[in-house]
Structure 1
Amino acid sequence: MKNLKKLGLALLIIIALLTIAGFFLPRQVHVERSLTIKAAPAAIFTEINTVRSWPRWSPWHGLDPQMQVIYSGPPSGEGAGYSWTSANSNVGNGTLTVTRSQPFERIDISMDFDENGTATGSYLLRPAGQGTRLTWTMDTDLGANPLERYLGLFLDKLVGADFEKGLANLQKLVEAPAATAQR
């Protein structure tokens, strides 16, 4: 019985220390990935700025073909957006809105993942030799919850992998010979 009390006390101390340590972890998380695409900024910009084109390249649309999407606002540019619902836990539910659209240079978005919080994102387009350097970013505030802050330690790796897939999808889409012939 004495050993069980010691074990319980030790476990309680470990939990308390981990909780306290969690408060010192960063609450702000930044995820960023870049890729140089052999296409003009205009071709890439059009695919991102037109939210109805996102199923063609977004990594999350590919995870759940049954995802329900409702578009809102204009078809492209500032105010364009959509809400989605998905039974797939890797996709979840939420809304996305284009908050800034600076032709051929930058697109900013806001996202609300319902119970999973909010985030902002950007797509930055910069000329790079014969192509365009596309940088995709996301920023979120995890708040005061120490458990969420621990999860934030893995967010760059988890979301970053999806960003890499989305950038590769965009690259295939706009570099394809058919895409070039259509533009």
Structure 2
Amino acid sequence: MKTILKILGILIVLAILYAVFAMLIFSKDYHFEKSVVINTPKEKVWQYVGSTKAMNVWNPFAKADKNIMITYSGTSGEVGDSYHWKGNDEVGEGEQSVTAVTPNEKLTSKLHFIKPFEGDATTNFILTPEGNGTKVTWTIDNELTTMMKIMKPMMDRQMDKMFGQGLGDLKTLAEK
């Protein structure tokens, strides 16, 4: 019994040390990006990233809840193109609005998360020629709260999984 208590005590101390380390050392600025090369011209890829409706065909975050409610507004593919989503606990609630567009090259949008956590982020889709195809880079940038710094390694794993799934689905669609 003493051995189990010692092990538990050591694990608790290590968890506390990690939390303190993460809060003090990890940057509050969070950036994640993932890229894929799609074997088609950027004009064809743009059809799937150039508007919020087009993105939600392959967006893994929108597909995580089959009963998600999405309301679109603004002019598709232009600054102000936006949508509001409300889903289950995994998907939460929020809004995404296009803030800058360079057709066939870059789309920037602001994400505003309402539930389960309040927060803002900026996302980009950047298309660049790569050989006979198009390199698509998906980025997200936001500011982490002190408590979110502790979860940064888990966030990186989750973002890698979701961005990878989304870019894979985008590649499949665009290469048809």
Specify the TM-score bucket, using the shorter chain as the normaliser: 0.7 to 0.9
**Separation in 1, partners of 2:105, 2:65:** 30
Kept after mapping to 1: 8 A contact 2:19/2:150:
no
Name the amino acid aligned to 2:25: F
Matched residue, 1:126: 128
Structure with the bigger percentage of helix = 1
Q: Structure 1 stretches of 5 or more lacking a match?
A: 1-9, 177-183
> Any runs of at least 4 consecutive aligned residues in structure 1 with deviations exceeding 3 A, and if so which?
10-20
2:71 aligned counterpart, secondary structure? strand
**Separation in 2, partners of 1:11, 1:175:** 49
Matched residue, 2:137: 135
**Separation in 2, partners of 1:140, 1:91:** 18
Deviation at 1:16, TM superposition (A): 6.7
Matched residue, 2:30: 29
What TM-score does the superposition give when structure 2 sets the normalisation length? 0.85
Deviations 1:122-149 (A, max 9, x none): 1110001111000000011013x2x211
What TM-score does the superposition give when structure 1 sets the normalisation length? 0.82
Deviation at 1:19, TM superposition (A): 5.1
Deviations 1:63-82 (A, max 9, x none): 11210001111122211010
Name the amino acid aligned to 1:162: M
1:71 aligned counterpart, secondary structure? strand
Pairwise CA RMSD: 2.1
Matched residue, 1:58: 59
1:56 aligned counterpart, secondary structure? coil
**Separation in 2, partners of 1:18, 1:83:** 36
The structure with the larger Rg is 1
Deviations 1:47-103 (A, max 9, x none): 11121122321112221121000111112221101010001x321110001111101
When the two structures are aligned, how many residues end up with a matched partner?
165
1:161 aligns with 2:161: yes
Q: Structure 2 stretches of 5 or more lacking a match?
A: 1-9
Kept after mapping to 1: 8 A contact 2:39/2:133:
yes
1:39 aligns with 2:40: yes
